[in-house]
Chains A and B, each alone.
Chain A
Amino acid sequence: MSTSTPESRSADRIAARSGIDPRGPRFAAGITAVLLLATVVLGAGGADAAALVLLAGLAVLFAWGAIAGVARHPFGLLFRAAVRPRLGPPTGLEDPRPPTFAQLIGLVVTGTGVVLGVAGVPLAVPVAAAVAFVAAFLNAAFGYCLGCQVYLLLVRARVIRHA
């Protein structure tokens, strides 16, 4: 789902086997949450254009994470370069697929906000940013994965079937 070429698929399989540091996606979600909150504040304050530009930038980042995988996301790279060397080893490694799926959900939510914002519904920008903020904040602060619950709902709705 997150990949298109055989090369990146095999890279994902290798990453899935070895796993990623679970603190990486949480660190990235923290930065994302701050930027989403800034979008909400700008939108609520009436700075519609600034909010739309910021949300569009975040939507691009979500697309990056969903397509290239969280490990290759700018905030994931920042975590590996600047944060992880200062931390102790992780207690365990995690499958990168759930946080990558969460990036796709983030893209859908923020992308909808951007499209509606461009189409002349400025209120959609802070609303979409607020929804995405709650998900990113719960992940960063509580380790709660809203995307994982959405995935189960999609399985139950028979939207997702096992290959």
Chain B
Amino acid sequence: MDPVAALVAGIGLPAAATLLGLLLRSRDGRVRAAPALPSAAGDVAALGLPPGALGGDVTLVQFSTAYCSRCPGTARALGELARAYAADVRHVEVDLTDDASLADRFDVRQTPTVLVLDSAGRTAGRIAGVPRTHELRTLIDDLTRRNRVHQHA
């Protein structure tokens, strides 16, 4: 037995894994500005959603796979969040297992990933992981308020 190597491995590995977990947690679910993807309107068409699936004010497009432990819970939470708004906010779930090319086109690297679309179908924000409700609400509030101001102007 080499007690020093055993001790280093026994303490170092859990410590490294804890740091990795904290790093992943600190990045998970943050609302980020959408990356510059080519032609946002065309992208939305690529989702293959039926006409009328998009919300009049905001659409939350959730990318999932069948083997994603946190996707069903995220879908429930986003559905409830969308229904709680008086404005036309809708939640749409897209299973990437059905069409892997969508994962390439939207550069989805983890599930769930959520796109926040504005009333024109433009990507206003992007969330990798389980969305932080507070940050997501702030963005939705901002987008729906902008629409109301436009309508009254």
A-B contact pairs, 7 of them (CB 8 A): A95-B69, A134-B20, A142-B25, A148-B65, A148-B67, A152-B68, A155-B65
Q: From DSSP, what is the main secondary structure of chain B's interface residues?
A: helix
B56-87 residues at the A interface, CB under 8 angstroms: 65-70, 72-73, 76
A75-97 residues at the B interface, CB under 8 angstroms: 92, 94-95, 97
- A residues contacting B by CB (< 8 A) are 22, 37, 40-47, 92, 94-95, 97-99, 101, 126, 130, 133-134, 137-138, 141-145, 147-149, 151-152, 155-156, 158, 160-162
A44 touches B9 (CB 8 A): yes
B1 touches A45 (CB 8 A): yes
A134-B69 Cα distance, complex, nearest whole Å: 18
- Chain B contact residue count (CB 8 A cutoff): 36
A101 touches B9 (CB 8 A): no
**B109 interface residue (CB < 8 Å to A):** yes
CB proximity of B37 to chain A, nearest CB, Å: 16
**B41 interface residue (CB < 8 Å to A):** no
For B110, the chain A residues whose CB sits under 8 A away are 148-149, 152
CB proximity of A126 to chain B, nearest CB, Å: 7
Given A37-B10, A155-B97, are A47 and B1 neighbors across the interface (CB < 8 Å)? Answer: yes
Given A40-B9, A130-B13, A152-B110, are A137 and B67 neighbors across the interface (CB < 8 Å)? Answer: no
